[in-house]
Amino acid sequence: MILAGDVGGTKVHLALYDFKQGSLVHLKDERFPAQGFDGLEPIVREFLDTCSAGEITAACFGVPGPVRQGRLKLTNLPWTLDSEQLSQSLNIPHVFLINDLEANGYGVSELKPDQIYTLNEGDRGAVGNRALVSAGTGLGEGVMVWDGRRHIPMPSEGGHCDFAARNELEVELLQYLMKKLDGRVSFERVVSGLGIHNIYQFLRDEKKLTESSELAERLKHEDPNAVIGELGDSGKDELCAKTLEVFVSAYGAEAGNMALKVLAVGGIYIGGGIAPKILKTMRSGTFMHSFIDKGRLSDLLIKTPVHIILESRCALMGAAAYAEQRAAEISGTSIRAASV
């Protein structure tokens, strides 16, 4: 069996996988609040104690940030992860740490057609680089480089690049955030869960869009982004709908930027937890308008396929696939190949 993990600043998602006829088979998964633990190891132990799991031959954890020589110090948690240390303490022969968007990249190859929603068909016959842009708690970006035979995922921290305002409203938003943050504004401050709340406050406080008393009350007791997403996508609240419109427009623009930067003729994949929850707004045309609005290069973007990943376990699937592949290279024994 393979242990896969998706480690975030607020939660840790763990899963067990096996292989049947060469394909991943999901056995069990569970989410844990990261703040309730002093490290990854006790979370893994608690998960495995409830699984009655057999022998685990390899494990891989997708983590937010750059991994250096099997080590990572998390930004949003007081944890330092070390693959060798985890391997020894958990008694798992092969443990790997990779960037979370890299894990998503490996997961894309494991997805079935019903786990993807195609926003733009583009040139379906085109073969080449792909890219990932994933808005969730933060903004993750990654590249899947085409080497002539397969796509090789590579991590990126492109979500922390400077936010580029494209119209008067976004210029005002940029100026608002520069004051609020006392300086530089990255794309993550606009295109992410945090960004949704930032846009909402800007429209309410600077542009004076009306916040209803019912909405204000819900925001006090519920997750603000979930409320804004629900009411905005359904069109039941004007302020929330405008918030999502601005958010999706910036999202589409940055996805188009990514497509240009890596020449992603093989397609752009939209990951993260936000897009599937606001699918109506994503399909409204605002995202694609911004995506292709690239002047002389617009025709290239029109031909670029755009897919929304609907499967919430994509990163886990990718981590499992990576763990099996790397363990097979090291040990000479492939669980996937043996299952065929």
Mean pLDDT of the chain: 94
3-state DSSP assignment of residue 33: strand
Residue 166 has pLDDT above 70, yes or no: yes
Instruction: Say what the pLDDT of residue 318 is.
Output: 97
Residue 53 has pLDDT above 70, yes or no: no
Query: Can you read off the two tokens belonging to residue 203?
Result: 């429209």
**Binning pLDDT at 50, 70 and 90, where does residue 21 land?**
very high
Note the pLDDT tens digit of each residue in 259-295.
Answer: 999 999 999 999 999 999 999 999 999 999 999 999 9
In angstroms, the Cα distances linking 122 to 113, 125, 300 are: 16, 9, 9
Instruction: Say what the pLDDT of residue 310 is.
Output: 97
Query: Can you read off the two tokens belonging to residue 184?
Result: 């530089």
Query: Can you read off the two tokens belonging to residue 8?
Result: 């975030």
250-259 average pLDDT score: 98
Q: What is the DSSP annotation of 45-108?
A: HHHHHTTT-----EEEEEESS--BTTEEE-SSSS-EEEHHHHHHHHT-SEEEEEEHHHHHHHHH
Whole-number percent of the chain with pLDDT over 90? 89
**Binning pLDDT at 50, 70 and 90, where does residue 9 land?**
confident
Q: N- to C-terminal Cα distance for the chain? A: 15
60-82 average pLDDT score: 90
Instruction: Say what the pLDDT of residue 137 is.
Output: 85
Instruction: Say what the pLDDT of residue 103 is.
Output: 95
Query: Can you read off the two tokens belonging to residue 187?
Result: 């794309």
The continuous run of DSSP H or E covering 37 comes out as none
98-123 average pLDDT score: 95
Residue 50 has pLDDT above 90, yes or no: no
Residue 36 has pLDDT above 90, yes or no: no
Instruction: Say what the pLDDT of residue 215 is.
Output: 96
**Binning pLDDT at 50, 70 and 90, where does residue 76 land?**
confident
Instruction: Say what the pLDDT of residue 3 is.
Output: 97
Domains of the chain from N-terminus onward: 2-103+313-338 (3.30.420.40), 112-310 (3.40.367.20)
Q: Among 127, 124, 14, which residue's Cα sits nearest to residue 63?
A: 14
Note the pLDDT tens digit of each residue in 171-217.
Answer: 999 999 999 999 999 999 999 999 999 999 999 999 999 999 999 99
Q: Which distant-in-sequence residues (6+ apart) come within 8 Å of 283 by Cβ?
A: 119
- The DSSP output letter for 150 is S
